[in-house]
Amino acid sequence: MAGRPAAGRERGRGPGPSSKTVVAPVALARPAAGPAAVEPPAAGAGRAQQSYPDLGVPPGVEMGMAGADRALQAWHARLTGGLSPVSLSLAWFDWAAHLAGMPWRQMELLARAWRSAMALPGYALPGAGPGAAACSPHPEDPRFTAPGWSRWPFNVISQAFLSAEQWWQEATTGVPGVSRHHERVVSFVARQLLAVVSPTNFPWSNPEVLEATAAQRGANLVRGARLFAEDWQRLLSGAGPAGAEAFTPGRTVAITPGKVVYRNHLIELIQYQPTTQTVHAEPVLIVSAWIMKYYILDLSPHNSLVKYLVDHGHTVFIVSWCNPTAEERDLGMEDYRRLGFLAALDAISAIIPGRRVHAVGYCLGGTMFAITAAAMARDGDERLRSLTLFTTETDFTEPGELGLFLDESQVAYLQNLMWDQGYLDSRQMAVAFQMLRPYELIWSRAVREYLLGERQLPNDLMAWNADGTRLPYRMHSEHLHGLFLHNDLFEGRYLADGRPVTLSDIRAPIFMVATVGDHVAPWRSVYKLNLIVDTELTFLLTSGGHNAGIVSEPGHPHRSYQVTTRPADAPYTPPDVWAAATPVQEGSWWPAWEGWLADRSGGRVEPPPMGAPDRGYPAVADAPGSYVHEH
């Protein structure tokens, strides 16, 4: 693995069913004593009480027929990209069987198809303009906005396709008796298949491609073929997308000065160099999801949230996760909580004694920080001054389009794939996310680069997005079962240190950020934390998506947000009522959040030292550290 340090990353496989191996000691010792000290647990500690299915022994261990079945399903999963054919078949049968028993609904659909077919000749008559369109694309669908699509025969082609889209949307939805999940899956598959055969994807039916080909005498197609060959070679070699090499952590991104002040086999903790004469008394600890590398919050200097906080007088720490291999297959959710979140808090408590911490979690990192905060409140640990959650779900009953890939059949299928590999690869995860937005992430790029021959080089956010990490088998299995399938956290069944945690125990003030266009953590799902916590809660809804809405520096064009603070014990306001009543403010949300942090901080003090060598936390490397370079 590239970039793995020679020392300070001692590894120990967590225990399987018959192993009692403990995690090897880390290179940097924790404080020997003190209320904040947490000893490194055995890998998997605290898991025995969780009500998850048996995860089985690793491949290669004597496993019998059950293991052979799992190996076969893992092989099948590789062929299907991790999608369960059984899950898809069940959804299709549910829809088809119910529709088959509804002859009048079938007649309505046939009549709709006939009316659409009869409307096309009229649209094709000379002089028929856009006003004659029988079907209009979705306002967010830019595929047919070019002027060429209003001319014959492309106007007829586009109308025929849009009519087919609308017909299939009507056919796959609203069938009585079909479960909501199966309806969404069937409708989703229909959209995916239609996206494949969209007339924009073929050179002979796309007027923009035809015009470019005529004007350039086919040079665009030659360039496109070369770009396709280059991308295919990069895919086979495991290299990133073309142009991503221009954004290297420590050179062009993740360049905010700082030091690695703690390292264990799972995390590196970075403390950033202050840039102000005095700082706010309470430090800020940021933990992103381990599905991503931390530097999304420290991209280029102009859009680095870390730099923004440091320049506004905050002492910032951030966790950089390792990129697990098959050796870490048995690390679980509890290991991530203890070796990641609690270990980072312990280090900060040693470096800046007696100061409470502003905790910040992003995506799954926010979910685990909410779990950690609830467990700390349960145990009387008052080290948190506040809790900020970026695009974080705590209730998983409505996970948006990501829920299309989450049912018992699909999770079992994916679990067998991870069991065989030891992890879920970032490229396998990327396929699911790309399918949520196929035009933006797949087909528009293919048309632009391979048919028009125009390479669009990535920006810093796009390059970061291609720099993913793997997820250990046990951790991701527990995550999918305990949170997504069983909703254990929101319903009070999630165990930390072997005891249930409840989010209502959290008393620190909470600041939540959700984004309007989030396909991963829909804002109404994020908003549900209001249902269960009684503490002061500030909810902010910003424009943008799951990542772009967070990387929203001051001066970023077309940004706006809504924000209100609900006092402790105030009555609940439904999300749509809240959105209608809350005024929209133009600009970046960063100043509003930074002001919120400052208002909940003590006075200004001298900057703390970088690390605490006398307490076992020396500065061992410059930021961004070594784990961020692992691939």
Q: Which of 450, 457, 451, 452 is nearest to 227 (CA)?
A: 450
Distance CA 194, CA 139 (A): 18
Query: Do residues 306 and 318 make contact, with C-beta atoms less than 8 angstroms apart?
Result: yes
Query: Do residues 337 and 371 make contact, with C-beta atoms less than 8 angstroms apart?
Result: yes
Beta strands in 85-126 (DSSP E): none
Query: Do residues 57 and 40 make contact, with C-beta atoms less than 8 angstroms apart?
Result: no
Count of positions (residues) in the chain: 631
Distance CA 608, CA 256 (A): 17
Helices (H) and strands (E) in the chain, counts: 20, 17
Q: Is 322 a catalytic residue?
A: no
* Catalytic residue chosen out of the listed positions 363, 375, 377, 529: 363
Q: What are phi and psi of 267, to 5 degrees?
A: -135, 160
Distance CA 16, CA 472 (A): 13
Distance CA 167, CA 114 (A): 11
Give me Rg for the CA atoms of the chain: 26
What are 383's two structure tokens?
């080290």
Percent helix, percent strand, percent coil in the chain, to nearest 5:
45, 10, 45
Name, in order, each residue with C-beta under 8 angstroms of 266's C-beta and a sequence gap of 6 or more.
321, 322, 331, 335, 336, 339, 340, 343
3-state SS, residue 631: coil
Name, in order, each residue with C-beta under 8 angstroms of 191's C-beta and a sequence gap of 6 or more.
165, 168, 169, 438
How far is residue 474 CA from its own chain's centroid? 19
Distance CA 216, CA 223 (A): 11
Cα angle: 142, vertex 148, 154; to 5 degrees = 90
Distances (CA, A) of 29 to 23, 36, 324: 14, 14, 22
Q: How many CB atoms within 10 Å of residue 151? A: 10
Name, in order, each residue with C-beta under 8 angstroms of 261's C-beta and a sequence gap of 6 or more.
269, 270, 271, 317, 347, 351, 610, 611, 612, 617, 618, 619, 620
Residues annotated as catalytic (active site), given as ranges: 363
